[in-house]
Amino acid sequence: MDTLNVQNLEVRYGDLVGVADVSLKVEMGKVVALLGSNGAGKTTTLNAIAGLVPASGGSIEWRGESITRQPAYAIVRKGLALSPEGWRLFVSQTVEQNLRLGATALADKSRMSHLFERVYECFPRLAERRHQRSGTLSGGERQMLAMGRALMSEPKLLLLDEPSLGLAPAVVETMYETLHGLHKQGLTLLLAEQSIQLALDIADYAYVLQTGRTVLEGTAADLENNEQVQRIYLGVGAAEEAVTTSPAA
């Protein structure tokens, strides 16, 4: 059985269409990537799955149960957690306080100390800054905290929205090493990324979104070598092609 099954998802903001027709599946224990340029609908898709925005049409099923229009607090209790783009931290509160808020939906509060240990093991920098206000953290540290907060609910499926956005290459490398480790521990991942290489290096399967629609899907290996992905949907290589085909000055 698929862990997550999204069929013909549509999300509207009044007259504006955020997502027109997105379908995807995520199997237990897999890493699935959502690829697409800015504005393709990746964030809206993840927000709809997490219950942060209502679906206008289509269906979202989690482990055989419809969660299509359930609220975010109910969805996180079912084992889905989102690490959002832009972090959305409580900047006046400490690292530890932000993490504790992530465990609000935890059914067994006795596991909180174990989850703190797990997060600090994944992100030792957070352990060093546990009493520091999150508003004083660097961008990389804020991303770690957003991911750590999501992990505090002990999810079965972790949704990640642009985890590499705006971060230094060394921080991104460390971040993805952590994601590899979490996946080896059995965590299922669905991540939205603009970076093709980062996403396909970790993913088993990927979906390409364009203007709010699923336009292509396949294994990571197949899509990595697919010129359609590189040129048409993500625009990679277009500039180089323009240079090589333009007449010499």
Predicted local distance difference test score (pLDDT) of residue 149 = 95
| Annotated domain spans of the chain | 2-79+155-245, 90-154
Predicted local distance difference test score (pLDDT) of residue 226 = 85
Strand 188-193 vs strand 31-35: parallel, antiparallel, or unpaired?
A: parallel
Predicted local distance difference test score (pLDDT) of residue 22 = 97
pLDDT digits (tens, 9 = 90+) for 72-87: 999 999 999 999 986 7
- Ranges of residues in the chain whose predicted pLDDT is under 50: 237-249
Predicted local distance difference test score (pLDDT) of residue 14 = 87
pLDDT digits (tens, 9 = 90+) for 56-70: 999 999 999 999 999
* CATH number for the segment(s) 2-79+155-245: 3.40.50.300
Does the pTM surpass 0.75? The reply is yes
Predicted local distance difference test score (pLDDT) of residue 240 = 42
